[in-house]
Amino acid sequence: MTDARVALDRVARSLLAAGLEAVEVYLKIGRSRRAALGSEGRLVSLHRENGWAVRASGARSSLFCCGSGELPLSGPWPSPDGPSLRLPGPRPVTEWREPAVLRAPLCVEHEALEILEACERELARGLPGARLLQATLEDGESDSQVVNTRGVEALWRQRGSTLYLEAALGDDRVIEFVGGSNARAFNPRALVRRIIDRLLIRRDGSIGERDRGAVLLAPPVAVRILSTLLPLLLGDEGGSGSGSGFGSFMAEHGALGSKHLNVVDDGRLANGLFSAPVDGEGVPTGKTVLLEKGVLRATLGHGAARDGETGGAVGCVRRASYRDIPRVGPSHLFIEADARMSPGALLADLSRGHYFLDAMDAGRFDLEGDRFEITVGGFAVRSGEPTRTISGARLSGRLSQLLGGLEAVARDLTFFPLRGLLGSPSLLITGLDVNGKSRF
């Protein structure tokens, strides 16, 4: 791998003529194995990546450029046409114990195909008539370097895998998409069980009656709701970071949600897909408490991430790839679970309400108007027992009630690769409408 410090010296000299003095060089090499099972049969391929990116800024303008292969140390460079930017300064990286999985070899061809074929077998065994339309496993590793003229110099390694499954029963289709640091840890039986449950709900369920009882939301539904809070939690880039859309609610209650709502982002989460000692700018990562007992404590803001002199700042700038401009974003953002509470116990205590397992659309969420609605599927529940299969029901209400009505969280924290990794356990919430009048 090219020495990034040597490259930076050459690149910086070549950019001085354009009035650009603050310069950052990012280098990445990686490889991944992709296995696919679908209409074209079984395919396995190995991909290699060797890319670079340069950012540079003067007092009034900046540039970003990238490419594959070797970094052209003397350009030519594009004309700077972006706003000026401030690169971070150096900060000591706190102790980082590299997980053993980072040195584990990629899945070999037969291992990757076996995971996909196990999913196919489990689906055929568990739900006759269902079809696995597409299954894709990506297993990759990469080494990255970033250096800048303010003194940042960082090198880190990452290892990650994703599994995409698309299945159908009749005209109904569902998708499961999961990620983790180790492809060998994927559980085909558990993943296919979720697919089967969702397909049966869509086949056998009806919209059901209007109700206003308690609802138990499984992680796939809860994560959809969590994703709507990102504009409140991303600070300077994603929104005001001060509870925009909930100003009056916060003024009255001093909180965004109930005492059971704790949201954190952790760039060093054990076995996390994006775990690393530093972020995409070389700033040390760590755990940031965003919501504590419903109260907004911090945001993931560009100012905190980039200011090398801010002692408490935690790196939160992500690079989707070397081709993308670094942006503030979550790494592993999740609602904290309660290790004492199982989803089964929450269900058993539900005297009247619904247990929703499936988010059937992306939903509509209006932060400013304090309202939401999302189409869901699951079961009507009486005395802790499912009594009727529900499909296509409209769950709606005020967002402030959704957050403030959180009564309990379970221990089944589950992550999904959305923007970064978003995770949630099952949530028990009161005060929402099922099949009420549309608020949009």
Cis check: omega of the bond before 76, within 30 degrees of 0: yes
- The pLDDT assigned to 303 comes to 39
Residue 4 pLDDT > 90: no
* Selected residue with higher pLDDT from 260 and 304: 260
Band (pLDDT 50/70/90 cuts) for residue 313 is: low
Pair (393, 292) in one structural domain: yes
Domain tally for the chain? 2
Mean pLDDT of 194-213: 94
168 domain-assigned: yes
Band (pLDDT 50/70/90 cuts) for residue 254 is: low
Strand segments (E) across 59-202: 62-68, 131-148, 153-169, 172-180
Mean pLDDT of 261-274: 92
439 domain-assigned: no
Cα distance between residue 92 and residue 311, in whole Å: 10
Residue 94 pLDDT > 90: no
- Tens of pLDDT, residue by residue over 204-242, are 999 999 999 899 999 999 999 898 888 878 865 444 444
Mean pLDDT of 321-332: 92
Question: Under DSSP, is residue 116 helix (H, G, I), strand (E, B) or coil?
Answer: helix
- The pLDDT assigned to 304 comes to 40
- Tens of pLDDT, residue by residue over 118-139, are 999 999 999 999 999 999 999 9
Pair (129, 230) in one structural domain: no
Pair (212, 158) in one structural domain: no
Please tell me what DSSP assigns to residue 119.
Answer: H
**Domain boundary pick from 177, 202, 227:** 202
Q: Contact, 370 vs 397, CB < 8 A?
A: no
152 domain-assigned: yes
Pair (160, 232) in one structural domain: no
Pair (165, 301) in one structural domain: no
Residue 361 pLDDT > 80: yes
Cα distance between residue 255 and residue 158, in whole Å: 36
Q: Contact, 201 vs 411, CB < 8 A?
A: no
Q: Contact, 134 vs 163, CB < 8 A?
A: no
Q: If phi over 0 gives left and psi between -120 and 50 gives alpha, with beta otherwise, what is residue 431?
A: left
Structure tokens at 143: 């080494």
Q: Contact, 329 vs 300, CB < 8 A?
A: yes
Band (pLDDT 50/70/90 cuts) for residue 187 is: very high
112 domain-assigned: yes
Residue 311 pLDDT > 50: no
Pair (145, 242) in one structural domain: no
Residue 250 pLDDT > 80: no
Residue 246 pLDDT > 70: no
**Domain boundary pick from 161, 184, 202:** 202
Band (pLDDT 50/70/90 cuts) for residue 100 is: confident
By the 10 Å C-beta count (0-12 exposed, 13-18 middle, 19+ buried), 36 is classed as buried
**Domain boundary pick from 202, 237, 271:** 202
- The pLDDT assigned to 248 comes to 54
Pair (192, 277) in one structural domain: no
23 domain-assigned: yes
Mean pLDDT score across all residues of the chain = 89
Q: Contact, 271 vs 51, CB < 8 A?
A: no
- Tens of pLDDT, residue by residue over 34-67, are 999 998 899 999 999 999 999 999 989 999 999 9
Instruction: Please give the model's pTM, rounded to 2 decimal places.
Output: 0.89
Q: If phi over 0 gives left and psi between -120 and 50 gives alpha, with beta otherwise, what is residue 347?
A: alpha
133 domain-assigned: yes
- Tens of pLDDT, residue by residue over 395-423, are 999 988 999 999 999 999 999 988 788 99
- The pLDDT assigned to 320 comes to 87
440 domain-assigned: no
Longest dimension (CA), the chain: 75
Type of residue numbered 259: K
Please tell me what DSSP assigns to residue 278.
Answer: B
Q: For residue 429, give every residue at least 6 positions away whose Cβ sits within 8 Å of its Cβ, in sequence order, or none.
A: 214, 215, 216, 217, 402, 405, 406, 407
Q: Contact, 281 vs 326, CB < 8 A?
A: yes
CATH code, domain carrying 194? 3.30.2290.10
Band (pLDDT 50/70/90 cuts) for residue 247 is: low
Pair (211, 118) in one structural domain: no
Cα distance between residue 382 and residue 348, in whole Å: 9
Q: Contact, 80 vs 62, CB < 8 A?
A: yes
Structure tokens at 287: 């755990």
Strand partners for 36 = 43, 136
222 domain-assigned: yes
Q: Contact, 35 vs 116, CB < 8 A?
A: yes
Residues of the chain above pLDDT 90, percent = 71
Band (pLDDT 50/70/90 cuts) for residue 167 is: very high
Q: For residue 192, give every residue at least 6 positions away whose Cβ sits within 8 Å of its Cβ, in sequence order, or none.
A: 119, 122, 123, 126, 165
Residue closest to 23 by CA, chosen among 60, 53, 45: 53
Pair (413, 346) in one structural domain: yes
Pair (238, 143) in one structural domain: no
Q: Which domain holds residue 340?
A: 205-434
Pair (384, 295) in one structural domain: yes
Residue closest to 9 by CA, chosen among 70, 73, 66: 73
Mean pLDDT of 240-257: 57
Strand segments (E) across 249-363: 263-266, 287-292, 295-296, 317-318, 327-328, 332-335, 352-359
Cα distance between residue 424 and residue 32, in whole Å: 28
- The pLDDT assigned to 309 comes to 42
C-alpha to C-alpha distances, 40 to 47, 166, 254, nearest whole angstrom = 19, 15, 56
Pair (154, 238) in one structural domain: no
